[in-house]
């Protein structure tokens, strides 16, 4: 394509003003000719430029008499000019760099035309200018710091993660889920009295709103092959609506915290009600005296669970409450950054967690153990899966390049629980790690949280279709802690993308 110059695209004749004219007269001429500027000329030479921006400044100035003030008092003197032979790309660069919207065109210092930003964007093949502060993020945003948080963090190389200032694994070993929930919402572990108050606050919030109760049977039974979080996503959306959650932008911190408490408390009840309804059973109301995870198992069967099973599920759920800026947490914060209500942010996060690369893996990990069948088949099965381009579910992590501390803890929990699958799972884990080290050298792929999660949940009587919802249930607390933090110090998240399609603007063809 031939190079275009300023001469090809400049506008003429130029709308001008005399130095002695009033701004009012010049503004009237701008309006009459539908232009955004007038060039002030003296014997044909541009000595200044008066733009719409100057008129706005003038209007905002309390002591200026608009009808009497002269253009020379408000114009930008000695304007930057360009010559007609200059290439369009260079003129564009000058406009973008200096922030000008109009440049007079001169030959031998005499005004012959004007080029405006509008003229430039109208022509084809304008190259985009890099904004000086623009940086290109790595694919998948790997390693990019996008916020500050006091909720927690993951140190991938050390195989360590923490909630606030405490080691998360130690919290899972020593504390109840409600204590950790209190830590994330209130910033501190509770005293005995604070714990009592917190449990009392949670209890009434576990009940599903009446308007939603009647919808649950329909939601539970719709779809022949529902995704792991489809029903919960729909039911939670209905519950958030029934609970009248206003945009986070319009509410104070105590009200937003109350919305967060409600969502965190009602999610386990919704999960189990939906599961039982799908099985043709009536939902079981929450048990007033049981802790979070014991009550969770109670609402599945209607029976108070074995405390060993309840504690194993509780340790799993504590270990999955939060985990840095993972995809679903990031989603929740992006939605909150728009000022949307807390329910919308959690529903969006559920959608993000439902993907097999994030939260949809634990049932697939157990399916893999079933498919392998016996220790003798492990190596051949895994080798074939990796060589055919497949991913071994429950292995690999964006941040951990060593053992995932959650998987180490859950392997211990699984060992304590015992059962036929545990030894088999440990053998498969070793084989997968060896095969991946050989076939994917340097990638440092180890078991992640989801590999032993399936084994533990299975052993505690949770059916596979509840694996991802069980993860979602505890992660809701982490999402909400992040939502509260985002709302407290917010700026809308609005990154950019590099356009790589055909160069714009192409002429729009007439409709056939
Ligand atoms: N099986 C086989 N190969 C793998 C696996 C795996 N589980 N994980 C990573 N790799 C390989 C990739 O094929 C890739 O190889 P290449 O360099 O030859 O292309 C390399 O390792 C790097 O993989 P990426 O996809 O770039 O790693 P990324 O950090 O983007 O993905 C993820 C991390 C999604 C967890 C990935 O490891 C994976 O798909 N794992 C299986 C699914 C899973 O277990 N998800 C649960 C994660 S935990 C959680 O979200 C709670």
List, run by run, the mean pLDDT of 10-residue segments along the chain (512 residues).
79 92 91 91 93 83 77 90 89 78 92 85 58 80 94 93 97 98 98 98 97 97 90 98 97 98 98 97 98 98 98 97 97 98 98 90 86 94 96 92 93 92 94 96 93 94 95 98 98 93 91 95
Q: Give the pairing type, strands 160-163 and 152-155.
A: antiparallel
Q: Is the separation of the CB atoms in 116 and 36 below 8 Å?
A: yes
- Determine the Cα–Cα distance for residues 383 and 75; give it in Å rounded to an integer: 75
Cα 141 to ligand 1 centre (Å): 15
Query: What residues does each domain of the chain span?
Result: 6-122, 151-493
Whether the CB of 368 sits within 6 Å of ligand 1: no
Q: What is the dihedral of CA 492, 493, 499, 504, to 10 degrees?
A: 0
Show contacts of 171-178: CB within 8 Å, 24+ apart.
Answer: 171/318, 172/315, 172/318, 172/319, 172/409, 173/315, 173/409, 175/318, 176/291, 176/292, 176/314, 177/291, 177/292, 177/293, 177/314, 177/317, 177/318, 177/321, 177/474, 178/202, 178/291, 178/292
Instruction: List beta partners, residue 388.
Output: none
Strand ranges inside 128-194, DSSP E = 152-155, 160-163, 166-167
- Determine the Cα–Cα distance for residues 41 and 81; give it in Å rounded to an integer: 13
Chain centre distance of CA 204: 31
| pLDDT given at position 130 | 55
The number of beta carbons lying within 10 Å of the beta carbon of residue 394 is 27
Among 451, 444, 404, CA closest to 160: 404
Q: Is the separation of the CB atoms in 358 and 396 below 8 Å?
A: no
Q: Is the separation of the CB atoms in 88 and 9 below 8 Å?
A: yes
| pLDDT given at position 442 | 93
Cα 336 to ligand 1 centre (Å): 28
| pLDDT given at position 368 | 93
The number of beta carbons lying within 10 Å of the beta carbon of residue 135 is 8
Q: What's the whole-model pTM score?
A: 0.78
- SS3 of residue 273 by DSSP: helix
Whether the CB of 459 sits within 6 Å of ligand 1: no
CATH superfamily of 151-493: Citrate Synthase, domain 1 (1.10.580.10)
| pLDDT given at position 124 | 46
Whether the CB of 262 sits within 6 Å of ligand 1: no
Q: Is the separation of the CB atoms in 95 and 117 below 8 Å?
A: yes
404-409-412 Cα angle (round to 5) = 130
Cα 362 to ligand 1 centre (Å): 14
Q: Which of 328, 352, 396 to mutate to test the pocket of ligand 1 (most atoms within 8 A of CB)?
A: 396
Give the CA distances from residue 458 to residues 362, 417, 451, 497, in Å, rounded to whole numbers and listed in that order.
Answer: 10, 11, 12, 43
Whether the CB of 472 sits within 6 Å of ligand 1: no
Angle between helix 405-417 and helix 449-459 axes, rounded to 10 deg: 20
- Determine the Cα–Cα distance for residues 188 and 180; give it in Å rounded to an integer: 9
Catalytic residue numbers?
397, 450
Name which residue sits closest to atom 8 of ligand 1, judged by CA.
Answer: 396
Q: Is the peptide bond before 13 cis (omega within 30 degrees of 0)?
A: yes
Whether the CB of 393 sits within 6 Å of ligand 1: yes
Radius of gyration of the chain from Cα atoms?
A: 32
Domain 6-122 maps to which CATH number in 1.10.3720.10, 3.10.580.10, 3.40.50.300, 3.90.640.10?
3.10.580.10
| pLDDT given at position 164 | 98
């Amino acid at each position: 394509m031939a190079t275009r110059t300023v001469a090809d695209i400049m506008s003429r004749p130029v709308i001008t003003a005399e130095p002695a004219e009033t701004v009012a007269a010049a503004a009237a001429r701008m309006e009459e000719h539908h232009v955004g500027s007038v060039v002030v000329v003296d014997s044909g030479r541009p000595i200044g430029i008066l733009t719409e921006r100057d008129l706005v400044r003038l209007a905002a100035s309390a002591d200026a008499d608009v009808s009497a003030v002269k253009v020379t008092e408000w114009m930008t003197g000695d304007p930057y000019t360009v010559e007609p032979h200059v290439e369009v790309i260079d003129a564009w660069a000058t406009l973008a760099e200096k922030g000008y919207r109009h440049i007079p065109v001169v030959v031998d210092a005499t005004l012959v035309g004007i080029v405006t930003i509008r003229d430039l964007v109208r022509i084809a093949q304008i190259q985009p200018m890099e904004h000086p502060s623009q940086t290109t993020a790595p694919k998948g945003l790997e390693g990019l710091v996008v916020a500050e948080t006091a909720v927690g963090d993951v140190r991938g190389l050390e195989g360590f993660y923490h909630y606030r200032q405490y080691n998360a694994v130690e919290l899972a070993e020593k504390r109840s889920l409600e204590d950790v929930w209190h830590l994330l919402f209130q910033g501190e572990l509770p005293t005995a009295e604070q714990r009592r108050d917190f449990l009392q606050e949670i209890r009434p919030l576990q009940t599903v709103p009446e308007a939603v109760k009647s919808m649950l049977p329909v939601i539970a039974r719709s779809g022949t092959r529902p995704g792991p979080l489809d029903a919960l996503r729909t039911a939670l959306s209905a519950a958030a609506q029934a609970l009248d959650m206003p945009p986070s932008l319009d509410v104070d911190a105590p009200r937003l915290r109350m919305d967060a408490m409600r969502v965190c408390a009602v999610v386990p009840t919704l999960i189990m009600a939906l599961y039982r309804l799908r099985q043709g059973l009536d939902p079981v109301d929450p048990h007033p005296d049981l802790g979070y995870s014991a009550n969770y198992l109670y609402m599945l069967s209607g029976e108070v669970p074995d405390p060993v099973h309840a504690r194993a599920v509780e340790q799993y759920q504590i270990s999955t409450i939060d985990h840095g800026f993972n995809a679903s947490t990031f989603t929740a914060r992006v939605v909150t950054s728009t000022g949307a209500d807390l329910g919308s942010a959690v529903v969006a996060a559920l959608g993000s967690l439902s993907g097999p690369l994030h939260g949809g893996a634990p049932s697939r990990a157990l399916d893999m153990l079933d498919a392998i069948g016996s220790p003798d088949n492990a190596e051949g099965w895994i080798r074939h899966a990796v060589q055919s381009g497949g991913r071994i579910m429950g292995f690999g992590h964006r941040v951990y390049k060593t053992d995932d501390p959650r998987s180490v803890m859950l392997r211990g929990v699984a060992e304590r629980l015992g059962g036929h699958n545990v030894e088999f799972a440990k053998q498969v884990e070793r084989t997968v790690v060896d095969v991946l080290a050989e076939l994917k050298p340097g990638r440092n792929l180890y078991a992640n949280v989801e590999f032993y999660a399936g084994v533990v949940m299975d052993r505690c009587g949770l059916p596979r279709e509840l694996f991802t919802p069980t993860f979602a249930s505890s992660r809701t607390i982490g999402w909400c802690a992040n939502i509260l933090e985002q709302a407290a110090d917010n700026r809308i998240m609005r990154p950019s993308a590099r356009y790589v399609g055909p160069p714009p603007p192409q002429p729009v063809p007439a409709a056939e």
